[in-house]
Amino acid sequence: MRLLTHNMLSCNIKGVSNGFPLRLEAEKWVEKEVELNADFLRGIFPKIEWKALAGAARALGYNELPDEADASMLDADDFLRRFHHALLELHVEEGALVCPETGRRFPINKGIPNMLLHEDEV
Amino acid sequence: MWYLCVFYHRLLDYRRPEVESLAELFGAFEAAGEGIGGPPPRSLEWRLPENHHIDSPFHFVSLPSEEIARNIAKRSILVKGMYELWGQGSSYEELEKAIRDFPDEKKLPYLTSESTFRIIVDSFGKVISFQEQNERIQGLSYIPFKGRVDLRSPDHKFYLMETDNYGSNNGLPPIVQRAIFFGREVGAADRKLLPTYQLKSRKYLGPTAMDAEIAFLMANQGLAQPGKLVYDPFVGTGSILVAAAHFGAMTMGADIDIRVVRDGRGPDCNVWSNFKQYNLPMPISLLRADNNLPPWRPGLREVFDAIICDPPYGVRAGGRKSGGRKLLKGIVGPYTVPEEKRIDHIPSTAPYSLAECMHDLLDLSAKMLVMGGRLVFFYPVVREDGFTNAELPEHPCFTLVASSEQILSLRYSRYLLTMVKTGPYTEEIAESARKKHLEFKENHLKWLEDGNLHSAVFSPADPQISLSGKSKFDRDSKPKYRGKYV
């Protein structure tokens, strides 16, 4: 699971109102190089919850993202590369996503987050 | 400019929509001054040769430039080639006159002594022997070819195409008059694509893996290209996303079956390995999620450029949703998992009716697609008396731009629907979707029975009707040339 996915997911248990961002508990993660596509990054930037991305990156030991970011920073290659690295090149293989409200753990196994709810959470 | 567009005799309903989609992708409508924000559906101008019907392989299409025509032909699955027509006729005398009348300034640049060329004789509905082909090529000596012949990689390819009055063939309406076309090839399909991606050499397959040809058609309808994000909520073994990734799109997929997305059949036989097999970039994300209760964060809107999928509609594979088996008995009420069993609990799932699945898909797409983004999916329709009475799904955010039928059996067809998001996802639409979601939940059993396609497709024919000699599914009612592949 890459951090782009983390940025899009929330806990959707019935009745939960603050299910985002999910706390990232990573046990194993890897870096994989991905070709940088600037158009894609510029297009996706406005959809990203920056604080959640920076926080998740820090949880994986990557501290190069600023606390805040705005669209004007996309013109700088250096920023674009860091954004790209955090968003697409860090892969969580094993761990869990934890709901900030209920503490429910959504396991991440072989890189696949399991977001399916139990029968009584629907 | 008019081009002769020659199609393969396959998937007849899919041919023009594919060209229209690719025309959009390669900017044919921008050149016409309509801009990206222009109101869809935008369509091309088409003509048929005299006495030809819509299922003929020969069509004329108007495109703004040769470059766009070439790009469309190169990427298309169903276009055999695009040609600049130099002449046509119902006899070789007529053809000669037409070619002689075709302006020199358009012909001579392709006939120079420095260039190499090749002439190919092709036919539809008849076979032309090798000797006859040579005679026909010799017969073109009135065209002043100055260049050298190169059969392997010529600079210019010329096609002589012929179709005759072959009578009615398998129900295909006859072309009443012989027609001969001569033209310069502007662009041709990549014939290596389908053999490379054919399913029989794919490592990881499921029972409903999408055929490579159709998957590429779907990716074309979804305008998959570099920098775009394509999502498949029923990803399975990833066969649709493989096609989208081939065209350079970023891909994301979800499935409710964790064994398929996570495990596959081992470390070298899973969804990831299907991408590795073709050296394609891996999906950005694969996850286990339920399309009925998608886990996307509440404020997330307009992230995907296309949603392309083959929803489970209960004929070959049935859909599942979360909520537990008890829903089967109509029990909606409390269902608790004991505290000590929560950690490793494997939730049971309930069947997912087609109507609910369609509702969820349209709602999710309306929310998650960018404006102008495309939703491309298959929709099953029951056939009766050889006809399909299709009531296609609708949504206020979407405009249907193409619906192409593929007849799967006497009893049912599937339609490939292409919808463009043309309206914003408003609070009112969100509210009515929430109400509908609850309606589906409370009347789970009713919806399941109403939309049961499996019985319509597989139940034996009514014996009383067949005894009277008039079967409901009359074998002659379908034009014989229409079927799974055409």
Residue B11's pLDDT band (boundaries 50, 70, 90)? very high
Is residue B386 scored above 80 in pLDDT?
no
Topology, domain B194-336+345-458? Rossmann fold (3.40.50)
Q: What is the structure's pLDDT at B350?
A: 84
Instruction: Kindly indicate whether the ipTM for this predicted assembly is greater than 0.85, answering yes or no.
Output: yes
Is the CB of A119 less than 8 angstroms away from the CB of B250? no
Full strand arrangement of the beta sheet holding A23-31: A23-31, A90-98, A105-109, A112-113
Q: Where does B2-191 sit in CATH, by number?
A: 3.30.2130.30
Is residue B359 scored above 90 in pLDDT?
yes
CA distances for B342 relative to A32, B258, B337, B339, B347, angstroms: 34, 18, 6, 5, 10
Is A119 within a domain? Answer: no
Q: What is the structure's pLDDT at B479?
A: 60
Higher pLDDT, B202 or B318: B202
Q: What is the structure's pLDDT at B471?
A: 47
Q: What angle in degrees, to the nearest 10, is found between the helix axes of B212-221 and B12-25?
A: 40
Give the highest mean pLDDT range of B159-173, B239-253, B385-399: B239-253
Chain A contacts in chain B segment 261-300 (CB below 8 A)? 261-263, 281, 284-290, 293-298, 300
Least confident range of B50-54, B95-99, B227-231, B425-429: B50-54
Q: Which of A6, A22, A110 to mutate to test the interface with B (most CBs of B within 10 A)?
A: A110
Q: Which residues of chain A lie closer than 8 angstroms to B347, CB-CB?
A: 116-119
Query: Other C-beta atoms within 10 Å of B145: how many?
Result: 18
Residue linked to tokens 């022997």: B129
Instruction: Identify the closest residue of chain B to A90 by CA–CA distance.
Output: B284
Q: What average pLDDT does the segment B282-302 reach?
A: 94
Q: Could you tell me if B226 lies within 8 Å of chain A, comparing CB atoms? A: yes
Q: Which residues of chain A lie closer than 8 angstroms to B227, CB-CB?
A: 37, 39-40, 43
CA distances for B85 relative to A1, B40, B319, angstroms: 52, 30, 49
Is residue B244 scored above 70 in pLDDT?
yes
Q: What is the structure's pLDDT at B466?
A: 44
Give the highest mean pLDDT range of B42-46, B176-180, B305-309, B405-409: B305-309
Q: Which residues of chain A lie closer than 8 angstroms to B324, CB-CB?
A: 119, 122
Chain B contacts in chain A segment 86-105 (CB below 8 A)? 88, 105
Q: Could you tell me if B342 lies within 8 Å of chain A, comparing CB atoms? A: yes
Is the CB of B347 less than 8 angstroms away from the CB of A49? no
Q: Could you tell me if A11 lies within 8 Å of chain B, comparing CB atoms? A: yes
Burial pattern B216-236, b for ≥16 Cβ within 10 A else e, equals bbbbbbbbbbebbbbbbbbbb
- B241 neighbors B253 (Cβ within 8 angstroms): yes
Considering CB atoms only, which of B326, B335, B347 is closest to A116? Answer: B347
How close B423 comes to chain A (CA, Å)? 19
Is residue B478 scored above 60 in pLDDT?
no
Q: What is the structure's pLDDT at B461?
A: 63
Considering CB atoms only, which of B229, B287, B334 is closest to A115? Answer: B287
Q: Could you tell me if A4 lies within 8 Å of chain B, comparing CB atoms? A: yes
Q: Could you tell me if A71 lies within 8 Å of chain B, comparing CB atoms? A: no
pLDDT of B401-451, one tens digit each? 999 999 888 888 899 999 999 999 999 999 999 999 999 988 888 888 776
Q: Which residues of chain A lie closer than 8 angstroms to B345, CB-CB?
A: 118
pLDDT of B300-321, one tens digit each? 999 999 999 999 987 777 788 8
pLDDT of B361-373, one tens digit each? 999 999 999 999 9
Query: Other C-beta atoms within 10 Å of A59: how many?
Result: 18
Listed by start position, the domains of chain B span: 2-191, 194-336+345-458
Is A58 within a domain? Answer: yes
Q: Could you tell me if A53 lies within 8 Å of chain B, comparing CB atoms? A: no
Is A60 within a domain? Answer: yes
Is A76 within a domain? Answer: yes
Q: Could you tell me if A30 lies within 8 Å of chain B, comparing CB atoms? A: no
Q: What average pLDDT does the segment B152-175 reach?
A: 82
The encoded tokens of residue B349 equal 């799932």
Is residue B7 scored above 80 in pLDDT?
yes
Residue B176's pLDDT band (boundaries 50, 70, 90)? confident
Arithmetic mean of pLDDT over chain B: 88
Q: What average pLDDT does the segment B24-42 reach?
A: 68
How close A33 comes to chain B (CA, Å)? 11
Number of domain units in chain A? 1
How close B290 comes to chain A (CA, Å)? 6
How close B262 comes to chain A (CA, Å)? 6
Burial pattern A33-52, b for ≥16 Cβ within 10 A else e, equals ebeebeebbebbbebbbbeb
Q: What average pLDDT does the segment B52-64 reach?
A: 93
Is residue B21 scored above 90 in pLDDT?
yes
Is the CB of B285 less than 8 angstroms away from the CB of A2? yes
Q: How far apart are CA B285 and CA B282, in angstroms?
A: 8
Q: Which domain holds residue A25?
A: 3-114
Is residue B84 scored above 70 in pLDDT?
yes
Q: What average pLDDT does the segment B67-86 reach?
A: 98
Is the CB of B347 less than 8 angstroms away from the CB of A109? no
Q: Number of CB pairs < 8 Å for A and B?
A: 107
Q: In sequence order, what E strands does chain A have? A: 23-31, 90-98, 105-109, 112-113
Q: Which of A112, A114, A121 to mutate to test the interface with B (most CBs of B within 10 A)?
A: A112
Is the CB of B297 less than 8 angstroms away from the CB of A9? yes
Is residue B337 scored above 90 in pLDDT?
no
Residue B472's pLDDT band (boundaries 50, 70, 90)? very low
Considering CB atoms only, which of B285, B298, B337 is closest to A118? Answer: B337
Left, alpha or beta for A95 (phi > 0: left; psi -120 to 50: alpha)? Answer: left
Is the CB of B323 less than 8 angstroms away from the CB of A49? no
Is the CB of A115 less than 8 angstroms away from the CB of B348? no
CATH number, residue A108: 2.20.25.10
Q: Which residues of chain A lie closer than 8 angstroms to B293, CB-CB?
A: 12, 117, 122
Q: What average pLDDT does the segment B259-287 reach?
A: 94
Is residue B19 scored above 80 in pLDDT?
yes
Q: How far apart are CA B62 and CA B106, in angstroms?
A: 17
Q: What average pLDDT does the segment B376-387 reach?
A: 85
- B292 neighbors B336 (Cβ within 8 angstroms): no
Is A84 within a domain? Answer: yes
The encoded tokens of residue B68 equal 């766009």
- B7 neighbors B13 (Cβ within 8 angstroms): no
Q: What is the structure's pLDDT at B219?
A: 98
Left, alpha or beta for A111 (phi > 0: left; psi -120 to 50: alpha)? Answer: left
Q: What is the structure's pLDDT at B453?
A: 80
Q: What is the structure's pLDDT at B111?
A: 96
Q: What is the structure's pLDDT at B171?
A: 65
Instruction: Identify the closest residue of chain A to B230 by CA–CA distance.
Output: A40
Is A121 within a domain? Answer: no
pLDDT of A11-58, one tens digit each? 999 999 999 999 999 999 999 999 999 999 999 999 999 999 999 999
Q: What is the structure's pLDDT at B458?
A: 78
